[in-house]
Structure 1
Amino acid sequence: MNYESSVTADSPEYVTSDLSGAERENAPARGRGVLIAGIVLGIALIAAIAFYFMSAGEPVPEGGDDAGQAPAITVISPGSGSIEGEISATGTLAARRAMPVGVAGEGGRVVSVPVDAGQWVNAGQVLAVIDRSVQNQQAASASAQVQVAQADARLAQANLDRALQLVDRGFISKADVDRLTATRDAAVARVKVAQAQAGELRARNARLNVVAPSAGLVLERNVEPGQVVGAGAGTLFLIAKGGEMEMLARVGEADLARMSTGITAEVVPVGTDKVYTGQIWQLSPTIDPQNRQGTARISLPYAEGLRPGGFATATIKSGTVVAPLLPESAVLSDDEGSYVYIADKDNKVVRRAVQTGPVTANGVVITKGLTGSERIVQRAGGFLNPGQTIRPVKAGS
């Protein structure tokens, strides 16, 4: 049987039949070469992309290519400038002059309380009225006794005047005149005694009411109508004299040594963002041996947002200093104290001990150990070791 094979241009047999013998032998090798070239090109492209993302935005390090494979580390040279020192402290608010007011007299039943906490009062204003019905009767009796004594004194004076008119005529002896004079003097003395007793009762009655010793703001009210109060009743009212407040700021002994009375402080009560400006009017003369802290008392004028007993933070101005200012990331510390890492002329890491000052919003003030012209490691100091070679990169270059 005869079979006819049909071969078309699209079939593999048709393609290979047109190739020469040498070309058919080299076709697989040429395919492998194209595949290898594609793989190499892909690897090169991936490496280029990785290098781009790893080095994008990185400035050219100092020393060019001489730094070799050393890590690129950002360094800064801050220089020196005038820095307004600030000290942050926390503490509580209180009345600058708190006046506890209680019962000054013998006390009694409270009839009315015309003031409440949060109100302003004037000096001498009645804060609580005490029942004085019994005391009023005693005062009336004392006044009557004064009148009786005055009447006796007038009678004794009249008897003495008549006796003096008759003594020249011989009707009254000298002894009788002396006796009448003594009677008149005793009557006058009894008048003074009665007046003193009546005045004492009036003074006691006046002290029955609880009054404000000075103008100010009522902070506490601890009495209600109907309550019986006496000398041992304790504090009935607490008044802030003149409404003046203060903050009792707790600061360390080193910060306390840099303060002085009269310097400005900004106080922010907890829960608000309002700033109140005051001045330090007193510094604690002693240091707490437990926490090594003292108290700076900051006077504040009256404001509704200042409530005694509340918590607040204070920013205290501590004067101007000329020193380098470093970011907090550049300053390290260990058991030996604070230090920074510096890149020397050979681009090697050198440890430099420093003394830190106030911490401001812009960084840490370095009071000792730096001139500001050094190349200081800005960050990543915790991953470096003294003597290690780096590629210093100036920040912002």
Structure 2
Amino acid sequence: MKNIRPKPLILALLVLAGVAALAWFFLGERAAPPAATVRPALTVATVQPQRESLPTTLAANGNIMAWQEASVGAEAAGLRLTQVRANVGDRVRQGQVLAVLSGDTVQADLAQSRAALAEAEAAAAEAANNAQRARTLQGTGALSASQINQYLTAEQTARARVEAARAQLQAQRVRLAQTTVNAPDSGIISSRTATVGAVVAPGTELFRLIRQGRLEWRAEVTSSELGRLTVGTRALVTAASGARLEGRVRMIGPTVDPQTRAALVYVDVKPLPGMAASARAGMFARGEFDLGAAPALTVPQQSVVVRDGFSYVYRVNPDNRVTQVKVETGRIAGDRVAIVQGLAPDARIVAAGAGFLNDGDLVRVTDQAATPAVAPGSAARASVSAASAAR
């Protein structure tokens, strides 16, 4: 049997096929397009939460009212107003004359009372002389006992008439003094009904006075928050006019409204130093009670993003990708906001520009101070412009 040997042509074809396969493998691998490079979405700076002592406040609404109002009226009856010397808004002193009533009738009555007193005193003097003579003759029998008693009684009656005349004269003097209406206390005139020429009835209110010009803020505080306040608690108040006032709690109302479940807290207020006194009684005002300070975990306000009614921050992971973290915010102090829950104290979060990020975005982190985030393309253009300017 003959040995079978491969022909040279077959061997050559096999070698060519192997070379072609190797060439396709290497050339195809080189021709494959490179994988796409993921570019960072933003260049950001990171910060860590800081534990700070933040002021604790309690917000409330209320009205600014007069501390006390005094009603100023006329005591004299049936007299005509001749002068009105004060108007609404005037600041007056205690005892200052606010209005003057006609005193002609009172002056005449006063003169008549003086004359009546003089007449009573003359009659009393005559009665006293007669009584003295009767006492002298009492032991002689010249006068009967009844006659002597009549003289003694007439003396006492005359003395009583003198006292009555003096009282009447004093009443007329008081009535004359009532022809001037005086301020019962220092303060500000808040209303005026006095009109020149009007005949004033007794007890008619002519003016209303804010005593000492003092105002108070009557804050409405819910019963659940009432226990956090004490007498002397400091408050800062902003009136509807923009006026800023400060004060302290004078009194906490003893009752709670059953409808609103709120109590009134009375705060004596005065304008802050350097502020115009534009607050007026009757104005609506908002305020905050200073309840001290408490430690809190805080982040910059720019780090917090509000979406769909919830607050989020973006935590930067070791691979420079961000994770959207839902947090609960609390008090705000300056440019920082307290984080109540949802964030670890050692977390690294985006300092600014978080509103341009989405969960899972890749970022470029810079160690510089927190600045507004910029896109990488913008940063590159800025670098090129700076280099061109330097050349």
C-alpha contact 2:69 2:210 (8 A) present in aligned 1: yes
Root-mean-square deviation (Å): 4.3
| 1:161 aligned partner | 132
Residue 281 in structure 1 maps to residue 260 in structure 2: no
C-alpha contact 1:117 1:218 (8 A) present in aligned 2: yes
Residue 176 in structure 1 maps to residue 162 in structure 2: no
| 1:243 aligned partner | 213
Which region of structure 1 is more displaced relative to structure 2, 307-316 or 151-160? Answer: 307-316
State the Cα distance separating 1:188 from its structure 2 match: 0.5
> Which of 239, 261, 281 is the equivalent residue of 2:231?
261
What does 1:102-181 correspond to in 2, within 5 Å? Answer: 102-181=73-152
Letter in 1 for 2:61: T
- Secondary structure of the residue aligned to 1:90 is strand
Residue 226 in structure 1 maps to residue 212 in structure 2: no
Letter in 2 for 1:319: G
- Inter-partner Cα distance in structure 2 for 1:162 and 1:113: 59
- Secondary structure of the residue aligned to 1:167 is coil
C-alpha contact 2:43 2:366 (8 A) present in aligned 1: no
| 2:386 aligned partner | none
C-alpha contact 1:77 1:375 (8 A) present in aligned 2: yes
State the Cα distance separating 1:184 from its structure 2 match: 0.4
CA change 1:332–1:292 in 2 (3 A) is farther
C-alpha contact 1:80 1:372 (8 A) present in aligned 2: no
Letter in 2 for 1:198: L
C-alpha contact 2:44 2:366 (8 A) present in aligned 1: no
> Which of 46, 67, 86 is the equivalent residue of 2:57?
86
- Inter-partner Cα distance in structure 2 for 1:332 and 1:258: 33
- Inter-partner Cα distance in structure 2 for 1:122 and 1:153: 46
Structure with greater proportional strand content? 2
| 1:188 aligned partner | 159
CA change 1:226–1:372 in 2 (3 A) is farther
- Secondary structure of the residue aligned to 1:236 is strand
C-alpha contact 1:128 1:211 (8 A) present in aligned 2: yes
Letter in 2 for 1:282: M
C-alpha contact 2:57 2:290 (8 A) present in aligned 1: yes
- Inter-partner Cα distance in structure 1 for 2:72 and 2:365: 64
Residue 295 in structure 1 maps to residue 264 in structure 2: yes
Residue 57 in structure 1 maps to residue 27 in structure 2: no
State the Cα distance separating 1:280 from its structure 2 match: 2.0
State the Cα distance separating 1:317 from its structure 2 match: 1.1
- TM-score, normalization by structure 1: 0.65
- Inter-partner Cα distance in structure 2 for 1:201 and 1:297: 44
For structure 2, list consecutive stretches of 5 or more residues without a partner in the other structure.
Answer: 1-30, 368-391
For structure 1, list consecutive stretches of 5 or more residues without a partner in the other structure.
Answer: 1-36, 60-73
State the Cα distance separating 1:372 from its structure 2 match: 5.9
CA change 1:173–1:139 in 2 (3 A) is same
State the Cα distance separating 1:57 from its structure 2 match: 0.9
Letter in 1 for 2:167: A
- Secondary structure of the residue aligned to 2:43 is coil
Letter in 1 for 2:345: S
- Inter-partner Cα distance in structure 2 for 1:77 and 1:391: 19
- TM-score, normalization by structure 2: 0.66
Letter in 1 for 2:113: A
- Secondary structure of the residue aligned to 2:74 is coil
- Inter-partner Cα distance in structure 2 for 1:392 and 1:263: 50
CA change 1:340–1:251 in 2 (3 A) is farther
CA change 1:175–1:227 in 2 (3 A) is closer
- Secondary structure of the residue aligned to 1:134 is helix
What does 1:7-26 correspond to in 2, within 5 Å? Answer: none
CA change 1:187–1:257 in 2 (3 A) is same
CA change 1:57–1:290 in 2 (3 A) is farther
- Inter-partner Cα distance in structure 1 for 2:129 and 2:55: 88
Letter in 1 for 2:265: A
Letter in 2 for 1:94: M
| 2:184 aligned partner | 213
C-alpha contact 2:188 2:212 (8 A) present in aligned 1: yes
State the Cα distance separating 1:142 from its structure 2 match: 2.2
> Which of 322, 345, 349 is the equivalent residue of 2:295?
322
Aligned residues: 323
CA change 1:372–1:249 in 2 (3 A) is farther
CA change 1:89–1:327 in 2 (3 A) is farther
| 1:308 aligned partner | 281
- Inter-partner Cα distance in structure 2 for 1:143 and 1:396: 101
| 2:13 aligned partner | none
